[in-house]
Amino acid sequence: MTLAPPRPVDTAPASSAGAAAPDVTALVVTHRDPAGVREVLEALLAQTLRPDAVLVLDRTAGAVLPEGDPDAGRTLADLVAHVAHDLPVSVVAADPRAPARKAAFRAVLDHEPDPSAPSLLWFLPVGTHPEPAALVRLVDAWRRSPSTGVVGPKHVDVDAPHRLRAVSIRTTRGGRLLARPVPGEPDQGQYDTTSDVLAVPFAGSLVERDLLVALRGWETTFGDVGADLDLGWRAQASGRRVVVVPSSRVRSRAGVAVATATTGARRRAARRVAMARAPGGPRRSSPSGSPSARCSRRWPCCSSSARAARGPRSPPSPRSTPCVAGGPAGAPGTARPCAAATCTPSSSRAGPCSRPGATRCTTRS
């Protein structure tokens, strides 16, 4: 008899005996204006499991909402005070020129969580609208396995929730990003059995604080998709799982949760991540394109250990000329006799390394 998988819970999971409930901090990352912050805060208020704290990264530099907006003329601080009166919200100033991931990591380092409970970070850039049961299902998936370090939701279109935006970041061994799903693909449950993945987008991800600090955050030189791929790759290499929870849904706008190579820069960044992080990849002690590296991989006799066993090279011998026995010395049309002749092995080059072959008789000139 086959048992059906357990249904995801929509309420806060009960703490087991002796286990402390996690401390969840939501980080809302703004753009250079306060637009879109209200929708994210209202989605947090509607969560069945509310976060213990909310950090709003102010990258607006004091900008106000433009005319035509319902909150026109308000700054980010005014908007937060008006909307999130039931949430423990803190506004943290951030450099608008810094990448969003780097600014978020700096805010994480400056924020001291409750030391008596494991700390989880939920990253929500402007443009993400989590459904009411999104957070509780992410936390429930994290609690099921002690090795889980990064959890991601399923992203659907904010205007057409039956259309997929992203589920996870998938690549080949060489770092070619795979468009699975293709943005705009109908959501028919075809990815609802996905669990362990290589990486998840930054938007909507739930990450253990200790793991993120140990990994030193994102490598922003890889860009956006490349940085997310690199973080997931390093988390896997450290022994932690990266899990996607398709039952946790986040409605995202276009360009917020990106998991495919929509530009050439993202395509190249993913390949750079694979070259830097993949086990057994081209990263060696010597450059991958050098002859020594190619020779060592193909011909073991050219490795450094084999060369050390053979000892140092002997100095080059004097120039020798072939000789043929018979005939008087110096006679026209004949070779001189093999006086003081020596036999040296000739080279039968089956590859970059010499192989012992036939001998020929030579004499020093």
pLDDT tens profile 137-181: 999 999 999 999 999 999 999 999 999 999 999 998 889 999 989
In a domain, 182, yes or no: yes
In a domain, 288, yes or no: no
pLDDT of 23 reads 93
**Count of Cβ atoms closer than 10 Å to residue 316 Cβ:** 6
Q: Is the omega angle on the peptide bond into residue 246 within 30 degrees of 0, that is, cis?
A: no
Question: How far is Cα 36 from Cα 28, in angstroms, rounded to an integer?
Answer: 10
Residue 339: HSE in the Cβ half-sphere, 13 Å Cα cutoff: 8
Q: Is 143 exposed, middle or buried (0-12, 13-18, 19+ CB in 10 A)?
A: middle
pLDDT of 21 reads 86
What is the tally of structural domains in the chain? Answer: 1
In a domain, 334, yes or no: no
DSSP-derived letter for residue 159 is: S
Domain with 63 in it: 23-277
In a domain, 291, yes or no: no
pLDDT of 108 reads 94
In a domain, 364, yes or no: no
pLDDT tens profile 304-357: 554 555 555 555 555 444 444 444 444 444 444 444 444 444 444 444 444 444
Residue 313: HSE in the Cβ half-sphere, 13 Å Cα cutoff: 3
In a domain, 160, yes or no: yes
Question: How far is Cα 263 from Cα 270, in angstroms, rounded to an integer?
Answer: 11
CB–CB of 360/340 below 8 Å? no
Question: How far is Cα 250 from Cα 219, in angstroms, rounded to an integer?
Answer: 25
Residue 265 CA, distance from chain mean position: 15
CB–CB of 59/103 below 8 Å? yes
CB–CB of 135/258 below 8 Å? no
209-238 burial: b if 16+ Cβ within 10 Å, else e:
bebbeebebbbbebbbbbbbbbbbbbbbee
Q: What is the CATH number of the domain that holds 200?
A: 3.90.550.10
In a domain, 336, yes or no: no
| Identity of the residue numbered 282 | P
Q: What is the pTM of this model?
A: 0.72
In a domain, 80, yes or no: yes
Question: How far is Cα 262 from Cα 226, in angstroms, rounded to an integer?
Answer: 12
Q: Which residue has the higher pLDDT, 317 or 240?
A: 240
Mean pLDDT, the chain, whole residue set: 78
